[in-house]
Amino acid sequence: MSVKPPPAVAVSEDGGPPPAAAKPALRARAWQGIRAAGAARFPGVEGRIPNFVGAEAAAARLAATPVWQAARVLKCNPDSPQRPVRHQALKDGKIVYLAVPKLRSERPFLRLDPAVLGPGQLWAASSVKGATALGEPVTVEEVEPIDLVVTGCVACGRRGARLGKGGGYSDLEFALLRAAARLHPEVPVVTTVHDSQLWPADSLPMAAHDVPFDWIATATELVETRRRLPRPRGIHWDRLSPEQIAQMPCVARLQPRPPGG
């Protein structure tokens, strides 16, 4: 089935991508695009990383890439559209780490090891509920070095730009693992999306804290972005309030001390 291209998006005066202030409108446009394509799946699209028809085929396409096959340890988002990715990883014998909601724990990651799980538990463990029940909570320091990062999105550009749902936790998890030396700065970052979520190269804004993609897989296409967008170098503390930091002890430990503090 052919997919109509996304509606035209506004660009900045210099012809570049739209400003960050346009992100809410771009998210609404992306969610509408999935509905218009007849690709929305339970539990809906608005306000979330949208589940989509074809998620299994996109996961299979991703699993055929060299970066997937070379990876032993994955960090993956917990959202519904990437459940087939998590299941495939476990079937392939890969260790999968998921972050707990909003990092509000001294042990902010769940470790799923197929060598520990029974074969009949792999599908259950690939769900959020199953991962919570079957996964092993670990500290940041206990996370093994990550070979591949899987991140969901609301929309993405062909140069690797990522539009998330607005919470900022995916980028913070990346920065946290990098700050703890659990994640190499050059680790590949990948996603699976519906064709309608894959937008033209310069249609999405990227802020300094945003983590771009290296590979994008849909049910019909595989895009290698060739890392044309910069990555954040650390935690952007100016984006976090004191209250947020206090609720994330694993992040609070890394906060720089003020001079003389």
Sign of CA dihedral 146, 172, 204, 232: negative
Helical spans, DSSP H, in the chain:
23-36, 55-63, 66-70, 83-91, 122-125, 128-134, 169-179, 242-247, 249-252
Contact yes or no for 135/98 (Cβ under 8 A): yes
Classified as helix, coil or strand, 199 is strand
The pLDDT value recorded for residue 20 is 63
The pLDDT value recorded for residue 7 is 44
Q: Does the predicted model carry a pTM greater than 0.95?
A: no
Rounded Cα distance between 9 and 203, Å, is 6
Q: What letter would DSSP give residue 126? A: T
Give me the count of residues in the chain.
Answer: 261
Helix axes 83-91, 55-63, angle to 10 degrees: 40
Contact yes or no for 188/148 (Cβ under 8 A): yes
Name residues whose C-beta falls within 8 Å of residue 100's C-beta, 6 or more positions apart in sequence.
107, 108, 109, 110, 137
User: Which residue is it, tokens 């909570």?
Assistant: 137
| Phi/psi of residue 88, nearest 5 degrees | -60, -40
Mean pLDDT, 10 residues at a time, the chain of 261 residues: 44 51 91 97 93 98 97 97 98 97 91 96 97 97 97 96 89 91 93 97 85 96 89 83 89 77 50
The pLDDT value recorded for residue 200 is 92
Rounded Cα distance between 207 and 232, Å, is 9
Amino acid at 228: R
The pLDDT value recorded for residue 259 is 60
The pLDDT value recorded for residue 227 is 79
Rounded Cα distance between 209 and 239, Å, is 9
